[in-house]
Structures are given as structure tokens and as C-alpha cells.
Structure 1
Amino acid sequence: MTPLTMFIVSDSVGETADLVAKAAISQFRHDVDTVVMKRFANVDNLKQIEEIALLAQRQKALIVHTLVKSEMREGMAHYAMENGVQAIDLIGPIVDMIGGRLEESPFEEPGLVRQLDDDYFKKIEAIEFAVKYDDGRDPRGILLADIVLVGVSRTSKTPLSQYLAHHRYKVANVPLVPEVEPPAELLQIDPARCFGLVISPEKLNFIRKERLIALGLKDDASYAKVSRIEQEIEHFEKVVERVGCRVINVTNRAVEETANIILDQIEQLK
């Protein structure tokens, strides 16, 4: 496998360049961790640019950058060419195009997209809420949540909660097990804001076995047996019928797909 090193360079935190680079890499490698990615954040002078270009030459790295100041972008182009390094400017061409259309000059202030506005605070609040009320830790969160997820263990409740939190929704998730009576709060909420996550016994059997192996345990524990899984799903079906919520089969769905189904329904309630 051909090795690849990428330098992510930004005059802010570098999240944008990092995400774009990973999206591009994923078209060639399913595991983006096989690519060495080094982030250079808060780069604010030409001396740093020169040093990064020299280092990229030594390590035969590609440079991907989101430098908003024209002086810095020009410096990167100069030093990259001088050192025979490939550098991709992700933001410059777009800024120039928009500036031409608006007939305005850009602010050239790093980090504006991350200003601490209401939207940003709502996202942080939602993420903290999802952590606090994850895995049924506190049933009081069910009544405070915008969205409630229920399901048996290993049906992607936690990653789905975090994904929805990034869309600024407060999410509580509740695991359902036959031996534990579901929280009374589940029967007090609007069923349209509650979603049951179900998965095929075969798929869940595989996932749970892999989970046990990853923990260094034997994969023949009751937790991973099909008979136990079927018992849990039967209990799940009884609970969601009482709640009256929508059930989504997540067997062959990515978290993003499930989230879109939920968001579509929630948006209709507004």
C-alpha cells in the first residue's frame, strides 16, 4: 500500500481542511487512519509557512490548507513551489469567487465560522445533554428531551444521540432489558418524539460477539446468544407498543440514514 502523509494547515483550528481531506481520502482508503495526517493549527506568520513547506518536502507530504489571509495563501504557494511540494488551497478560490460576485473584500479574519453564537451554544448544550442522559442514566432526561431513543443493547443509540445532538437536538436514550421495567417517563412523552431502534437477531448476534471479543471475553456469553437476543427483542416490541412510538429497523442502515428518518419526522412537528 502506497504511504501517504498529509499536512493540514490552518490559521484557525483546521477542522474544515481536516474534514475535506478525510472525505477525499475515503474515496481511496476505507480506513483513513492508514494515512498519516498532521495538523498545523493557528498558523499566523510566513516563517511558519516556510518551515511547514520545508518539513513537507522532507516527509514527501501533501499540504491541504484553509488560510484566509491572502498574504498567507500567497506565501504558501510560493514556499510550496520553491520546495517542490504540492499544496491545495481549499478556501482561497471560493473566497475570490464570492468577493468578485459581491464586489466586496473579505474580512480575512481566521475562525469567523466558529464564532460563539446562539447556534454554537445550542449545539454544545445538546451534546452535553446527550452525554448526561446517555444509556438511561437519569430517566428525568426523557421528559426534557427533544428526541428519545429506545432499543436493546448495541443498536447504535449512543452514536445516533451524538449525531442528532450535532443538529442541536437534545436526545435521551434508554436501553431496554427484560429484567428491568422501563422508566415511567416513557409513557408520559409525545410518542411522535420517541423512536424505537430494532435490529435483526442475526446481525445483533454478530455485533455482540465482536464486542465480547474486543473486550477480551469469550463470545459464547448469554449476552450474545440468539435465544437471549430474541427474548430482548420480544420485550422491546411490547414496550414500544405501549409507548406508541415509531420503530426503525437499523439492521443495514448507517447512523446518518437513521438520523435523517428521525429528523424528517421531527421537522414535521414544528
Structure 2
Amino acid sequence: MTVCITGDVHHMSMETRDQEYMDRTEVEAAIEYAEIAAEYDVPVTLFITGKAAVEEPDRVRTLANMDNVEIGGHNYWGFTTPVHKGWRALEKLTGGRIGSWNGPRSFQAYEIRKTIEALEAVGAEITSWRDHAYRHDEHTAELLAEYGITHFSDVVEPEGEVRKQGELTVVPINTPPDHEYIYHAFRTPEFVEESDFEGPFGNESYSVREWKREILSIVDNLTAVDEVATILAHPGCMDLADNLETFQELCTSFVSTSECGCMNQIQPNI
């Protein structure tokens, strides 16, 4: 097993910039995304906010009941509470000496528990985790392990390798994440040209089909050396880019292969 297709799914009351352009919820897009993947026997891991399970319990339960879907945690509120904002401001004020995006340790522990409980209430068993916007701090890994998480995918890292970090298996995103690197919704060529974004994969953006070709090229390189390739393709982003057409093409690239698997099946090479 060398390819893991993942996506992040947010509650609609979060009111993200992408959501302004959507004509359905992210969870609704995720259901179609998972159904497309199922047509080609491709498993997917969807990291879902706890609040999405509270706002759309029946839809998240539909995902939890699908044989090709693993559900992971993606925080509860997406760092939008006054506690998060205050702790983040303190981090900025003190130059990183105090504070973080995740809030105080005790609050972060509370949010992890709350997320797991919300997702378990709709039938999901949570052993994988990705923080919203890849935001974690020195407490995150220890807390996740304490609450039964085994797999952690919270870093964008070209050529990154699966490895152990304490009790967790770290699965880096080692292909360009769609949201940061494809044109969609507000992220137009003009927006990109005016922004100063430069991520681990550089500052170049792609059409969604150019992104797919780049993804498949990197996957070939990684699998050739027996490394896990982890793809981040958000259901909402794929929906906005071209109504999930390219996502379907991506799935056809892995049809009838034993090389695809969910996050919780991945183990480091030893």
C-alpha cells in the first residue's frame, strides 16, 4: 500500500472563503466524492470537524457507514473561538514564547475529546488526525496519543517519509495540496499573482488538471522507491474546481490497485 487519498471537510458555519462559492455543503460534496471513489474501489480518508458532525449528523453518518471511507478528526471549531484567537494573539505578542493556534494545553485536550465524541456519536471510529491548516504545537502529538489517535498527518513535506513520533505514526502530505496550489473559487490567477504565498512546494499554481498530472508524476516517483504518497484533495475544492471531474480522473488512475489505502493502515518502512 503506497497511496493515501485524503480530504478535509469543514462545518458550514465556519464560513470559509471557499464556502462562499459553494452551492452545497462540504459534507454533501464529500459524500459524492466518496461515492466516486467507491466506484473505483478506492479508499479515502476524510478529516472532518466535530462541528460538521453536529450540524449535519445524518450526512456524516452516511460517510461513516461507507466501506471505503475512514473518518479522521479535524478539530472541532477550526480555531475560530475567542480562546483560540486570544491564545494566537498572545503567541504573536510574545514572539512565540507563549501561546499557539491550538489554545492552551487543557483547551486543546478538551477540543480533541469533543471532536472525537462528536464523530463517534455518528458512528465513526477515530484513530487518524489532521489539524485544520496543519496547525499543531508541542502538546498536540502527546495529547492525540493519549486519546487513542495512532496516525497524524499534519505536515506538508516534499519527499516526506512515514515515520514514528512517539506513539504516533506521522504520515506527511508529500504531494502539492490542492487548496494551496490550484486555481478555484477566490483563488484566481489574479489573486495568486497579488499574493505573496510560497509553500513547501513553491509558489506556482496550476489548473486542476495540471495539478493532477503533477500529482501523478510525484506519486510515480515516490512509489518507485517504496514510499507512501499522501494526496490532499479537499471535496469542496475538487467540487469548486470542476465539479469533481478531475477527482474522478484521479481515482481512475488507481482503479483495481492494491496500492491505495486509508490512513490508519499505513506503517513506516522498517
Common fold by TM > 0.5: no
Task: Kindly name which structure, 1 or 2, has the bigger radius of gyration based on alpha carbons.
Answer: 1
Question: Which TM-score applies when normalising by structure 2?
Answer: 0.28
Question: Which TM-score applies when normalising by structure 1?
Answer: 0.28
